[in-house]
A and B are shown apart, each in its own frame.
Chain A
Amino acid sequence: MMTQSDSPKAQDLPPAWTFPGFREGAWTILPLMPGLFAFGLAFGTVAARKGFSLLDALAMSGTVYAGVAQLVALETWPDKLTMPVIGGIVLVTALISSRFLLIGASLRPWLGSQPASKIYPALFFLVEPNWLMSMRYRANGGSDPAYLLGGGVVIYVVWIVSTAAGYALGTSIGDPHTFGIDMVMPAFFTAMLISMWRGARASSGMVIGGAVAIAVDFIFGGMWYLIVGALAGSVAGGFIDDPE
């Protein structure tokens, strides 16, 4: 915010990164953490069921750090990692995380003047929750970029811890089918779809994506249903949701 008391020089400087800003970002993200913990539990549980070691699961959460992409990768996990399979999983990962392009783009007006050496490492921690909180913080007049980082670091830690907790849960249970553990991911994704639902027209991409996936899976099998369904759904959703 520019006020009359700001000197012209102070206006030209990019907003400073401060510890109070970091702490405020970390603190305000906490109410969202139970939901994220459930998400991490789901990932860890499914990873254990798919034969990951604890280190494998933690390595994936610590490097990829993208919940939906990680869960979808697990759900399509093959018996053998061939190059075409790896390519397919990476393609799906790119589709899922393409939403970060928009989120990152929306930060440009605020953080465009920041030095690359600070902003690009901080962007590793960019996910929806700290982005949403930061947009609200920004709209209320906040300008400290450390706010975004503070929320992101808390989310990162919770994501790692909940992955480990879910893994322990997944390995301590005998037959996952008997206890319904294989339904953790579908139940969680169903809940996500409901919270993302914005009406039949605005959310037509979900309906078409799901329908096309079923059709492709029924006809061809394999994991193409995911790529074809996701592409068909997002393109259709992009064209159907028109105001006119």
Chain B
Amino acid sequence: MIQSDPLGFFVLLLAMTLVVYATRAGGFWLLGRVTIGPRLRKILEAMPGAVIAATVAPILLHGGLSAWLAVAAAAAAMLVVRNDFAAVVAGVAVAALARAAGL
């Protein structure tokens, strides 16, 4: 998959690297010139959560019952233990169990 298109992978990696670095250096650079207004600041603050939710939500649409149970287990583990590791382990374990049970 990747090996079949090394040029495309290289172009993608280069573009992603440049874009991410541009945001890292760009805010620092820009503030020497302009100010970020309160509205834009709020939109930027809401962006990471919106992106993550938009990534996860459709998986529930396609993943079936085992995906629902796995995400619920991860959420429960996170709420109780407040630990990323525990949440991932719980989610993966419940998905494996559900599939072993034929769900």
**A108 x B28 contact (CB < 8 A):** yes
Interface size, chain B (Cβ < 8 Å): 76
Q: A68-B52, A218-B61 are in contact. Are A183 and B70 (CB under 8 A)?
A: yes
**B12 x A81 contact (CB < 8 A):** yes
Distance A112 CA – B27 CA, assembled complex (angstroms):
12
* B19, B42, B43, B48 interface centre (most CB from chain A within 10 Å): B48
Interchain CB contact (< 8 A) of A102 among B20, B36, B74: B36
The answer, yes or no, to whether A157 is at the interface (CB within 8 Å) is no
Residues of chain A within 8 A of B3, CB atoms compared: 53
**A237 x B91 contact (CB < 8 A):** no
The answer, yes or no, to whether B65 is at the interface (CB within 8 Å) is no
Interchain CB contact (< 8 A) of B84 among A35, A106, A204, A206: A35
**A104 x B27 contact (CB < 8 A):** yes
**A205 x B23 contact (CB < 8 A):** no
Interchain CB contact (< 8 A) of B25 among A35, A98, A104: A104
Distance A123 CA – B53 CA, assembled complex (angstroms):
27
**A38 x B55 contact (CB < 8 A):** no
Distance A59 CA – B14 CA, assembled complex (angstroms):
10
| Listed A/B pairs (9) with beta-carbon separation below 8 Å | A100-B27, A123-B24, A183-B67, A183-B91, A211-B57, A214-B61, A229-B57, A231-B50, A237-B43
Beyond contacts A39-B84, A102-B44, A180-B93: 13 other A-B pairs, Cβ-Cβ < 8 A, are A51-B1, A68-B48, A93-B15, A99-B44, A102-B27, A103-B24, A181-B92, A184-B88, A190-B87, A191-B75, A193-B56, A234-B44, A241-B42
Interface residues, chain A, with chain B CB atoms under 8 Å away = 34-35, 38-39, 41-42, 50-53, 56, 59-60, 63-66, 68-69, 71-73, 75, 79-82, 86, 89-90, 92-108, 111-112, 119-120, 123-124, 126, 177-196, 203-214, 217-218, 225-226, 229-239, 241
Interface residues, chain B, with chain A CB atoms under 8 Å away = 1-3, 5, 8-9, 11-17, 19-21, 23-32, 36, 39-61, 63, 66-67, 70-71, 73-75, 77-79, 82-85, 87-88, 90-96, 99-100
